[in-house]
Chains A and B, each alone.
Chain A
Amino acid sequence: MIANDLVFDTAKTLMEKAAIEIPQDYHEGLKRAAKSEEGDLSSFVLQAMLDNYEAAKQDRSAMCGDTGVPRWFVKLGNEAQLEGGMVALEAALRRATAQATFDVPLRPNRVHPLWRTDHNNNVGIGAPEIEYGFEPEGDWIDLISVHKGGLFGSDYRMLFPSDGMQGIKRFYLDSLMAFGKRGLACQPAIIGIGLGGSKDICMTLGKRASVLRTVGSKNSDPRIAALEDELTALGNSIGMGAMGFVGSNMVIDCNIEVGYCHTGGMPMSVHAFCLSSRRAVARIWPDGRVEYRTDPDWFTPYQRRETVDWHPLREAAE
């Protein structure tokens, strides 16, 4: 049984880590970008970002004053048991979100869409979002804290099979051009692309591709992995860098996730994570062990399964 107090304490720690500590994979990616960048202003900006990550860690201060919108992804092993059940889990995550907002402090960004009511704790109707995934084996749970920034960096479009690969590239470029100018996308960023699914799932896939996959990760389908590389290079060939200044670093990595869609359509979404790429992960075991990491490892073979039933051995053999 996984203790509810442990879920609360771990969740609070994750909120702090996500806000303050740059994940290593993105940090390495940005260092490579800073090394290759030749635009004088873009170069200055990237160096300032690297200095900022150090300042945040030393001062235990949030990397960015806009601390984004905190949300949760929870992955449960099939044998995981939670003290108080799922309702207690959700209560712990909501309490941790409110407490960490005060403790770190984070910016209380969450308001009612119409009345602009602000509870000053990032909790409200539907906030924080809590999404779930499951794995066939294990008695652990993974808590993933993401504080998504980049208010301007996302878009959706219903494309069709006849739009083809060139249509995908065009919408991708349109999104980068639209939101890259003046740096509204907070680039260079991890760009996530969702292809397929229904409209809502298309957005979900793209968002998860940007926030739950690390720099350097590859889609398990080699042809999609090749497209990820091609789109990364394409984005960096625009001639636009950090803050929309002349430069050659727009995309630290492009991640694509797909889902089966209606036979007549090819919906696509584009999402930019931001310069702070805030994510932190912990695995909690029933014996009280907690292991922290920064790779959500969300997209396992089980999450990407195509078959009616789950036959891990057969899938592995294929």
Chain B
Amino acid sequence: MKPREIRLSTTPTPEAIAALRLGDIVYLDGLMYTAREGVYIYALEDKANIPMELPSQSAANFHCSPAARINADGSFDMGAVTATASFRFAKWLPEWMEKTGAKLIIGKGGMSSKDYKSYFVPNGAIYLSTVGYGTGALLGRGVERVEAVHWNERLGLAQAMWVIKCNKMGPFIVASDLQGNCLFERENAKIAQNIERIYEGTKPAVLKRYGESDDRADEVI
């Protein structure tokens, strides 16, 4: 079955979010900003003033560092844009969502259903995953223009807060819903049925590693 394709605003209504189903393909319109560890630490831990009106200007937080440059005349050139793995940002996201009203978290790999249930759902937010993680050139076509770059001098180009005007930017895949279900966990569960068959005949390595035994009093042999 071919997945559904949907256009969505980066300041979506609660109804539009509620209508999304796991595995839907989404294309975005409106303003989106990048924020990852550098922005989170500066805004949340160092209490810097966020240089945008959130969520009225944008409720879409992209976990991304673009391949981009700032020219000598101050203009921007953005080529490919690709997400970075989101699970590393779980530490800051609850506070960030509460503070900024972000409704769409866009990135790579998604979060756990525990994350979704504990702070995505209460904030009316869902997770969108980039596709294949390598469709940077396609996503680049959805960048109508770079509106602004904030904090680049402090954080560097990769960690700066880039504000992007999107025009049918995508594809993205809906990876969580308002019930807190997780697309990747659903797929993992299906694949897990094969594990016994494919591992048949193999045996654990002669020399163990910590992590395989969590008791540090154990020997690894």
Contacts and interface: CB of A to CB of B under 8 A. Distances in A.
B141 A182 contact: no
A62 B141 CA distance: 12
A277 to B, nearest CB: 10
Interface of B: 1-3, 23, 25, 64-69, 77, 79-85, 108-110, 129, 131-141, 156-159, 171, 173, 184, 187-188, 190-191, 193-195, 198-199, 201-207, 209
Contacts of B184: 181-182, 244
A276 B134 contact: yes
Q: 6 closest A-B pairs (Cβ-Cβ)? A: A65-B82, A170-B202, A56-B137, A65-B136, A275-B134, A62-B80
Contacts, number: 193
B136 A66 contact: yes
Contacts of A240: 191
A15 B83 CA distance: 22
Contact of B132 (A52, A65, A163): A52
A64 B79 CA distance: 9
B48 to A, nearest CB: 17
A34 to B, nearest CB: 11
B135 A49 contact: yes
Interface residues of A, number: 65
Contact residues of B: prevailing secondary structure:
loop
A88 interface: no
Contacts of B209: 157
Given A65-B64, A65-B67, A111-B158, 17 more contacts: A44-B3, A52-B136, A52-B138, A56-B137, A59-B140, A62-B79, A63-B136, A63-B137, A64-B82, A105-B69, A118-B157, A157-B209, A170-B203, A170-B205, A184-B109, A237-B194, A244-B184
B188 A243 contact: no
Interface in A40-58: 40-41, 44-46, 48-49, 51-53, 55-56
A169 B205 contact: no
A240 B79 CA distance: 31
A234 interface: yes
A298 to B, nearest CB: 24
B203 A55 contact: no
A104 B108 CA distance: 23
B57 to A, nearest CB: 22
A72 interface: no
Contacts of A116: 156
Nearest to B1: A40
Interface in A145-172: 149, 151-152, 157-160, 162-163, 166-167, 169-171
Give the residue among A118, A159, A170, A182 with the most B Cβ atoms within 10 A.
A182
A59 B198 contact: no
Given A48-B138, A61-B137, A67 B67 contact: yes
A206 interface: no
B198 A67 contact: no
B194 A64 contact: no
Nearest to A245: B187
A120 B157 contact: yes
15 contacts: A48-B135, A61-B136, A61-B137, A64-B136, A65-B65, A66-B82, A108-B158, A109-B158, A149-B134, A167-B202, A167-B206, A183-B133, A186-B133, A246-B191, A275-B134
A163 B204 CA distance: 8
Nearest to B195: A177
A239 interface: yes
Interface string A99-133: 00010111111010000101010000000000000
Contacts of A215: none
A40 B3 contact: yes
A182 B109 contact: yes
B201 A166 contact: yes
A126 to B, nearest CB: 19
